[in-house]
Amino acid sequence: MKKIPRFLTVFLAYSVLTILNGAPDLVPMPKVYKETGQVFQIDGNNVFTEKGNRQGEIAVDELQKKTAELGGAALKGGEIKDISAPGIYILTVKNEKAGDFKKKYQLEITDENPGIQGYVIKVTNEQAVVIGSDSVGALYGAMTLRQMMKKQDGKIIVSSCDVRDWPDFKFRSSMSYARGISQLAFGEKTREEQVAAYKAGVDMMLHFKMNVIFDYTFSRINVWDFDANWKSLASEVNKYALERGIYPSNYDTTAITNSTKDKLTDELKNWKCVKESRHGKMSFHCWSADKMQKEKIEKAADFYKECNFGIVFIHPVDGGAIEDPEMWSHRCPECRKLWKDGERWKATVHQLNMWADIFRKKAPGVILESPIYPYNAVYSNRERFPNVSRELWKQNSIDFWTNVNRELDPSVLTGSWMSARDAMDKYRTCWKGRAMDFNDHYPIDAGIFSTYYRYIITNFYGNPGDMYLSRGTTVYGSWLTLIDCCEFSWNTLSPGNEEFKGLFYDPEKDHTQPDVIMNDWLPMACRNFYGEKVGNLIVKMYQSGIQPYYIVEPGRALERANKSRRKPMADMDPNNVSKKSEAASIAPDIIDNPARMAFQVKAAEKSMQALEEAWKHYNTMNKYQKKLFIYYYKRMPELYAIARANYADRVAGELQKDGMFDAAAAVLENALKNLKADSEKAQAVKTQIKDEQDIMAPDKLKFGTIPKLSEIKKMIESRLADAKVILKPRRPGRFVNIAVYDGTGAKGTIEFFSQFKNVKAEIISSLNLSVLDKYDCVFIMKTTKISRNDFFNNLRRYVVEGGGGVLIEHDLIGGERGLFGQTNPFPEVCKSGAKRKDGRKVQTVLEHPIFNGLSKGTVMDLMYVDWIVPVAGEDGSVIVADAVGDAVVVAGTVGSGKAVFSGTISVSSIGGGYDAEEKCLYGLNAAIAEGAVEWFAGVKLEKK
Ligand SMILES: [Zn+2]
């Protein structure tokens, strides 16, 4: 396959830019577009296509609709007689008349040149001729012509021009069915209305040449469990999509069956081979159970054929990483008999070839892909896995892929996440000749428009079977991001393209840069998407850099972002051993601060203004454009209010930290006034649009939920109360008052303390001083909701000045995956969290008041299977460790108070695995909880 020489990249990108200067809004940009100085009038003109060519008919229909939208006289259809008649011609290259046009205009086109989905357009002052290398190419040519149409002096015209275009990736930019297109059908009541909404979504994809739909069924559901209604809707929508060159696709798995935990049959309860469990759903695998496997594949093939699917992804067991891929060591005796430890490749070939054979018979034409495990190209880098032997690494990566490639049916694609070019080159060498599916890194992006698809060029190899697919399942209003994915997968050299180095999503850049995408491409895309009037105004919202997810849940949004900065390899196995095999972090943590929120206040303000201006042209949009518009218009005043309140809260926190309590109070009082005005405005907008349709429930966002403004008011009031708090050490009264910060294990902790008569324990969700001051001690469970200021300033003051006791659990002690990285508020007691360690047996290693007389060397169990090892600071002592001396709990005094760092997590492991459940504390977790409270408060706890 041809590789593009790098030196051409800059040159080509530049020439596209020059060409498009003054050209119509074309998205994606054609490879060649050259104006020839005249105009062609569309409205009232003739339009011809080939008889019986469905894509040609659709093209004519689309041009008719666009003409009507622009208010022009209808096009006149008919049979082509001779090629001298004026009009629009939509043809495929095999058509005889196309041959005549080729001669007439000296057009260079065959079925191989420009090839699959490619087309040429010749527009003179009399004719607009579109010829496709295939019928989808002809349809795409018509879509380009459609984007060229504009109204001028009462006529609908296109500039005469020569266009030549073809896609780099023939499969590109997938759109979610269940969490994307379906949103257009939200609130639609009748089946007809619903079908119309789904079809409108498909049309929107077609207009931008996006050609894969995915995410029909949630994972780990047996496809044959879908009911007749579901199937009938999906098959109707899919048929409509297929006719438009769009491939409906779905993720299935190699699992023989799936089940929820409450519905296990006896056979599944006693499953002898590999099983997986995630989010309450279980999948059951076996490579040797041919009869059952065959039945499953046959049922699946029937389902996919019946529902008109074009691509099926077959996911293998998802876990085990390089050490034990697909958890192969857990296979059953039968599988062991057939395949040795190093022969997993044979089992994979056996299994996937069965899929290929059955689909060839039962659902021919459906493309099969499998992210053959391990499916990340970075596994080809030996250096990443210093903890496994070279032999094992090679057997489970390079050799495995090479062997599978040799024996696997050539029609089955392999799949991987996109990765840096060197790793992908190595990976691809193992898959010589086989087409591949590249996927984005499933970004949980905080914004409404992102530019990360500019990296696609890094994984373009020119194989016509290759796919580049966006996997952001949750779409909501983010159509423009996915259209940008199509831009760069159609035309990898589009301006702004960039070499991928490993960090896929960067919230500090990807919502505002590069300029050429933000300022040149986005306005074109917005005009195309919303129509000219609204597009020209709403683009300011997309350019503002707004991050709704960060505004409503700053801690979680940044935690997600920081995870991928610390760990460049996206999680292949979130539960497991792969944590050991990591390279150094790729970018420093993003530190939350008031300036970051201040930027969001501005961005929300700009967005709100843009939407208000665009609202004036609301009626220029169609029903579905309106729904997407309302999604933003309705929520933006609330986002603005929350951003403003969050900002004031942060500024006040900083002022309080510096002892400027009066200034903090003034900021907060002003914030309350602003919030009142902002709330009224938000309410007014909601009233204004109460009869308009939305794509989702009002408090839903792409990620996160919009809190009630009354809750935001409470937050500010509570911070204001803080300014009046004077901390001093307190003496417990009749009851020891314990606060448990809401997080993992909070329920079990509360349950545990409920058995004591002189304890009152409750869950809190604020670390404001006025809240903390009510309690004798505080337990901080694993959470992502705490703000930096509360954690580092309030909590510290509460202990140092207020004499409180704090117990901090798991990665908040300063684990490398913790919310704030390897830091915590009391480094003199615990410097940070070091490595993560597996194991449950631990023992006391010091006589300490926490243990209340328990002797050194007492062995206890942890509730969970792993912990973060704390590193004691100058004033801290290790009081619990495992058999080889790795610390589990560290304790020490700070100022007038005390702090305990427990690397464990207070949830109970299910069956010894990584799944866990809330349970009343037991084992070491119970001993530490009870002992810590007694130590903090100086009071003996009494059982009821
Ligand atoms: Zn088995």
- Torsion over CA of 586, 588, 592 and 598, rounded to 10 degrees? -80
pLDDT of residue 722: 81
839 vs 379: CA distance, rounded Å: 27
Q: How many angstroms is it from 276 CA to the middle of ligand 1?
A: 13
Q: The tokens 């913790």 sit on which residue?
A: 818
Q: Residue 72: left (phi > 0), alpha (psi -120 to 50), or beta?
A: beta
pLDDT single digits (tens) 745-760: 999 999 999 999 999 9
pLDDT of residue 658: 85
Q: How many angstroms is it from 738 CA to the middle of ligand 1?
A: 50
Q: How many angstroms is it from 361 CA to the middle of ligand 1?
A: 26
Q: How many angstroms is it from 411 CA to the middle of ligand 1?
A: 26
Phi, psi (rounded to 5 degrees) for 287: -90, -15
What CATH number should be reported for the domain whose range is 202-580? Answer: 3.20.20.80
pLDDT of residue 637: 98
Q: How many angstroms is it from 311 CA to the middle of ligand 1?
A: 27
748 vs 744: CA distance, rounded Å: 9
pLDDT(98) > 80: yes
pLDDT of residue 346: 98
Q: Could you tell me the pLDDT band of residue 278, with boundaries at 50, 70 and 90?
A: confident
Give the H/E segment covering residue 608: helix 594-615
In single-letter form, the type of residue at position 576 comes to N
Q: How many angstroms is it from 184 CA to the middle of ligand 1?
A: 43
pLDDT(577) > 50: no
Q: How many angstroms is it from 73 CA to the middle of ligand 1?
A: 67
- Torsion over CA of 713, 719, 723 and 724, rounded to 10 degrees? 70
Nearest to 358 by CA among 304, 308, 394: 304
pLDDT single digits (tens) 823-856: 999 999 999 998 889 899 999 999 899 998 788 8
3-state helix, strand, coil in the chain (%, to 5): 45, 20, 40
pLDDT of residue 79: 83
CATH says 32-165 is which class? Answer: alpha beta
Q: How many angstroms is it from 353 CA to the middle of ligand 1?
A: 17
Q: Where in the chain is the domain with CATH 3.40.50.880?
A: 736-937
Q: How many angstroms is it from 352 CA to the middle of ligand 1?
A: 15
pLDDT(324) > 60: yes
pLDDT(650) > 60: yes
Q: What is the CA radius of gyration of the chain?
A: 31
Q: How many angstroms is it from 328 CA to the middle of ligand 1?
A: 9
Q: How many angstroms is it from 334 CA to the middle of ligand 1?
A: 6
pLDDT of residue 11: 43
Crossing angle between the packed helical segments 344-362 and 290-306, to the nearest 10 degrees: 40
Q: How many angstroms is it from 344 CA to the middle of ligand 1?
A: 11
Question: In sequence order, what are the residues at sequence separation of 6 or more whose Cβ sits closer than 8 angstroms to the Cβ of residue 277?
Answer: 261, 283, 913, 915
Q: Is the dihedral of CA 516, 522, 523, 525 positive or negative?
A: positive
Burial of 839 (0-12, 13-18, 19+ CB in 10 A): middle
**DSSP single-letter state for residue 832:** E
Q: How many angstroms is it from 284 CA to the middle of ligand 1?
A: 10
In single-letter form, the type of residue at position 450 comes to S
Q: How many angstroms is it from 695 CA to the middle of ligand 1?
A: 45
Q: How many angstroms is it from 95 CA to the middle of ligand 1?
A: 54
- Please give the structure tokens belonging to residue 7: 């030196």
Q: Could you tell me the pLDDT band of residue 218, with boundaries at 50, 70 and 90?
A: low
DSSP 28-56: SPPSEEEEEEEEEE-TT-EEEE-TT-HHH
Q: Are strands 247-253 and 212-214 parallel, antiparallel or unpaired?
A: parallel
- Torsion over CA of 851, 856, 862 and 865, rounded to 10 degrees? 150
Mean pLDDT value of segment 719-733: 80
Q: How many angstroms is it from 272 CA to the middle of ligand 1?
A: 7
926 vs 917: CA distance, rounded Å: 16
Q: How many angstroms is it from 300 CA to the middle of ligand 1?
A: 20
CB atoms within 10 A of CB 188: 17
Q: Is the dihedral of CA 842, 843, 846, 848 positive or negative?
A: positive
pLDDT(574) > 80: no
CB burial of 19-31 (b: ≥16 within 10 Å; e: otherwise) equals bbeebbbbbbbbb
DSSP 349-389: HHHHHHHHHHHHHHSTT-EEEE-PSS-BGGGG-GGG-TTS-
Q: Could you tell me the pLDDT band of residue 15, with boundaries at 50, 70 and 90?
A: very low
Q: How many angstroms is it from 523 CA to the middle of ligand 1?
A: 55
Q: How many angstroms is it from 313 CA to the middle of ligand 1?
A: 22
Q: How many angstroms is it from 846 CA to the middle of ligand 1?
A: 48
Q: How many angstroms is it from 286 CA to the middle of ligand 1?
A: 4
pLDDT of residue 387: 84
634 vs 628: CA distance, rounded Å: 10
Q: How many angstroms is it from 458 CA to the middle of ligand 1?
A: 39
Strand order in the sheet with 257-260: 257-260, 281-284, 275-278
In single-letter form, the type of residue at position 737 comes to N
C-beta separation of 557 from 445 below 8 A: no
Question: In sequence order, what are the residues at sequence separation of 6 or more whose Cβ sits closer than 8 angstroms to the Cβ of residue 724?
Answer: 661, 770
Helix ranges restricted to H, 689-773: 709-722, 746-753, 769-772
C-beta separation of 315 from 253 below 8 A: yes
Phi, psi (rounded to 5 degrees) for 467: -125, 145
pLDDT single digits (tens) 505-537: 999 999 999 999 999 999 999 999 999 999 999
C-beta separation of 94 from 54 below 8 A: no
Q: Residue 700: left (phi > 0), alpha (psi -120 to 50), or beta?
A: beta
pLDDT of residue 6: 47
Q: How many angstroms is it from 338 CA to the middle of ligand 1?
A: 9
Q: How many angstroms is it from 267 CA to the middle of ligand 1?
A: 13
Q: How many angstroms is it from 221 CA to the middle of ligand 1?
A: 21
Fold of the 736-937 domain? Rossmann fold (3.40.50)
Q: Where in the chain is the domain with CATH 3.30.379.10?
A: 32-165
Give the H/E segment covering residue 130: strand 127-132
Crossing angle between the packed helical segments 709-722 and 661-688, to the nearest 10 degrees: 170
Instruction: Please report how many Cα atoms fall inside a 13 Å half-sphere around the Cα of residue 71, on the Cβ side.
Output: 6
Q: How many angstroms is it from 253 CA to the middle of ligand 1?
A: 15
Q: How many angstroms is it from 87 CA to the middle of ligand 1?
A: 64
Q: How many angstroms is it from 266 CA to the middle of ligand 1?
A: 17
Q: Could you tell me the pLDDT band of residue 573, with boundaries at 50, 70 and 90?
A: very low
**DSSP single-letter state for residue 400:** H
Q: How many angstroms is it from 336 CA to the middle of ligand 1?
A: 7
Q: Could you tell me the pLDDT band of residue 572, with boundaries at 50, 70 and 90?
A: very low
Mean pLDDT value of segment 132-147: 98
Q: How many angstroms is it from 278 CA to the middle of ligand 1?
A: 20
Question: In sequence order, what are the residues at sequence separation of 6 or more whose Cβ sits closer than 8 angstroms to the Cβ of residue 230?
Answer: none
Q: Could you tell me the pLDDT band of residue 8, with boundaries at 50, 70 and 90?
A: very low
Q: How many angstroms is it from 271 CA to the middle of ligand 1?
A: 9
**Strands (DSSP E) along 50-95, which ranges?**
76-78, 87-92
Mean pLDDT value of segment 102-119: 97
Q: The tokens 């049309």 sit on which residue?
A: 203
Instruction: Output the CA–CA distances (angstroms, integers) from residue 480 to 69, 518, 809, in the order listed.
Output: 21, 11, 41
Q: How many angstroms is it from 332 CA to the middle of ligand 1?
A: 4
pLDDT single digits (tens) 233-268: 999 999 999 999 999 999 999 999 999 888 889 999
Q: How many angstroms is it from 265 CA to the middle of ligand 1?
A: 18
C-beta separation of 828 from 898 below 8 A: no
Respond yes or no on whether the N-terminal peptide bond of residue 825 is cis (omega within 30° of 0): no
Q: How many angstroms is it from 310 CA to the middle of ligand 1?
A: 30
Q: How many angstroms is it from 255 CA to the middle of ligand 1?
A: 11
- Please give the structure tokens belonging to residue 461: 């190899």
Question: In sequence order, what are the residues at sequence separation of 6 or more whose Cβ sits closer than 8 angstroms to the Cβ of residue 871?
Answer: 830, 831, 832, 833, 834, 887, 890
pLDDT single digits (tens) 344-373: 999 999 999 999 999 999 999 999 999 999
Nearest to 493 by CA among 30, 839, 24: 30
Q: How many angstroms is it from 297 CA to the middle of ligand 1?
A: 17
pLDDT(17) > 60: no
Q: How many angstroms is it from 283 CA to the middle of ligand 1?
A: 13
Strand partners, 284: 257, 275
106 vs 762: CA distance, rounded Å: 81
Q: Which residue has the higher pLDDT, 193 or 475?
A: 193
Strand partners, 49: 90
Q: How many angstroms is it from 291 CA to the middle of ligand 1?
A: 12
Out of 403-412, 456-465, 673-682, 786-795, pick the least confident. Answer: 786-795
893 vs 317: CA distance, rounded Å: 48
288 vs 338: CA distance, rounded Å: 8
Q: How many angstroms is it from 573 CA to the middle of ligand 1?
A: 21
End-to-end CA distance of the chain: 76
In single-letter form, the type of residue at position 834 comes to A
C-beta separation of 888 from 831 below 8 A: no
Q: Residue 885: left (phi > 0), alpha (psi -120 to 50), or beta?
A: left
Q: How many angstroms is it from 304 CA to the middle of ligand 1?
A: 26
Q: How many angstroms is it from 220 CA to the middle of ligand 1?
A: 19
pLDDT(904) > 90: yes
- Please give the structure tokens belonging to residue 78: 């008919």
Q: How many angstroms is it from 731 CA to the middle of ligand 1?
A: 62
Q: How many angstroms is it from 315 CA to the middle of ligand 1?
A: 17
Mean pLDDT value of segment 807-825: 90
Q: Are strands 841-844 and 275-278 parallel, antiparallel or unpaired?
A: unpaired
Instruction: Please report how many Cα atoms fall inside a 13 Å half-sphere around the Cα of residue 450, on the Cβ side.
Output: 26
- Please give the structure tokens belonging to residue 736: 């020891």
CB atoms within 10 A of CB 388: 19
Q: How many angstroms is it from 582 CA to the middle of ligand 1?
A: 30
Instruction: Quote the mean pLDDT of the chain.
Output: 92
Question: In sequence order, what are the residues at sequence separation of 6 or more whose Cβ sits closer than 8 angstroms to the Cβ of residue 472?
Answer: 176, 440, 442, 443, 445, 478, 481, 482
Q: How many angstroms is it from 342 CA to the middle of ligand 1?
A: 15
Q: The tokens 């309690």 sit on which residue?
A: 775
C-beta separation of 759 from 750 below 8 A: no
Q: How many angstroms is it from 316 CA to the middle of ligand 1?
A: 14
Q: How many angstroms is it from 427 CA to the middle of ligand 1?
A: 28
Nearest to 795 by CA among 895, 670, 709: 895
Q: How many angstroms is it from 341 CA to the middle of ligand 1?
A: 13
pLDDT(214) > 90: yes
Q: How many angstroms is it from 77 CA to the middle of ligand 1?
A: 61
Q: How many angstroms is it from 343 CA to the middle of ligand 1?
A: 13
Q: How many angstroms is it from 282 CA to the middle of ligand 1?
A: 16
Mean pLDDT value of segment 923-939: 94
Q: Could you tell me the pLDDT band of residue 584, with boundaries at 50, 70 and 90?
A: low
pLDDT of residue 14: 41
Burial of 541 (0-12, 13-18, 19+ CB in 10 A): buried
pLDDT of residue 224: 82
pLDDT of residue 194: 97
Q: How many angstroms is it from 790 CA to the middle of ligand 1?
A: 51
Q: Which residue has the higher pLDDT, 305 or 22?
A: 305
Q: Where in the chain is the domain with CATH 3.20.20.80?
A: 202-580
451 vs 443: CA distance, rounded Å: 12
The percentage of the chain sitting over the pLDDT mark of 70, rounded to a whole number, equals 95
Q: How many angstroms is it from 340 CA to the middle of ligand 1?
A: 12
